[in-house]
Amino acid sequence: MKKYIAIILLAVCHIYAAGGPPMLTDGTGTPDDGTWEVNIASKGEINNIDRRYEAPSIDINYGYGNNIQLKAETAFVVLKDNNEAKKSGLGNAKVGIKWRFYENETNDILISTYPQYTFLPIKENLSKGLASVEEALFIPIEVTKKIDNFSFTAEVGYYALKNGSNFINSGFLMGYEALSNLELFAEVYRIAQIDRESETIFANGGLQYEIASKASILFSSGRELTSNNSQIKLFFIGLQLLF
């Protein structure tokens, strides 16, 4: 059961402009050409079995051209089990590349794909529970539609684990530009384990608040909707820097 929850959490956090941190659903936006986007965050997943925190989580992105994003991410993980002492160490790491291959300015429709590879920098941390899988590959596609101050993003992808279960992850995200420096988000995110024919659904809300021309505060909070026994609660609070 604990292993299953850990895999679900990793599938969630393939973990955050419309989509991406601090949300679960990734969007079609990419940093401007030559721009670095660094997200420094504290993230948590809490259930009645254990509490898992990533503090800090470091997500580094680079804009290449007008429609490509390069990504590298890792985190220092703190794990507290109800029956064991606290553990801490480096968790899984991730690299990815997003390609926005379609833009229709007339209808404000954008489409991208965002393959991401998760791996294990320190092998012994897998047995300690600080990392969740040895290797995993996520291949999604994202579609964003903009209407006035609203944006609507749908994402669906195949999440494959080495020597493990496979998932179909999908999310629907709505963004609303409430102010020139404030965007609000709401989403529903679904993780469907193929071989077990089971699903986990999350509801999540968040915001991005620009405090300076190249700095924003990120926040989200959500919870699992599909289980009463081991219901997972999520939170994300961080800082996004552009340079």
Average pLDDT over residues 9-16: 48
Residue numbers of the domain that contains 135: 2-242
Q: What are the angstrom distances between the C-alpha of 86 and each of 82, 131, 189?
A: 9, 14, 29
- Is the pLDDT score of 14 beyond 50? no
Average pLDDT over residues 51-72: 96
CATH code for the domain in which residue 139 is found: 2.40.160.40
Q: Say if CB 192 and CB 167 are below 8 A apart.
A: yes
Q: How confident is the model at residue 227 (pLDDT cuts 50, 70, 90)?
A: confident
Domain count, the chain: 1
Q: Does 203 or 196 have the greater pLDDT score?
A: 203
Report DSSP state, residue 165.
Answer: -
Q: How confident is the model at residue 197 (pLDDT cuts 50, 70, 90)?
A: confident
Average pLDDT over residues 84-104: 94
User: What is the reported pLDDT for 198?
Assistant: 83
| Residue (of 80, 126, 79, 94) closest to 21 by Cα position | 94
Residue 1: partners with Cβ closer than 8 Å, 6 or more residues away: 49, 230
Average pLDDT over residues 17-42: 91
Q: Does 229 or 232 have the greater pLDDT score?
A: 232
- Alpha-carbon 237 to chain mean position: 13
Q: What are the angstrom distances between the C-alpha of 139 and each of 26, 99, 142?
A: 12, 12, 10
User: How many percent of the chain have pLDDT more than 70?
Assistant: 91
Report pLDDT digits (tens) over 213-223.
999 999 999 99
DSSP string, 37-102: EEEEEEEEEE-SSEEEEEEEEEEEEEEETTTEEEEEEEEEEEEEETTS--EEEE--EEEEEEEEEE
Q: How confident is the model at residue 12 (pLDDT cuts 50, 70, 90)?
A: low
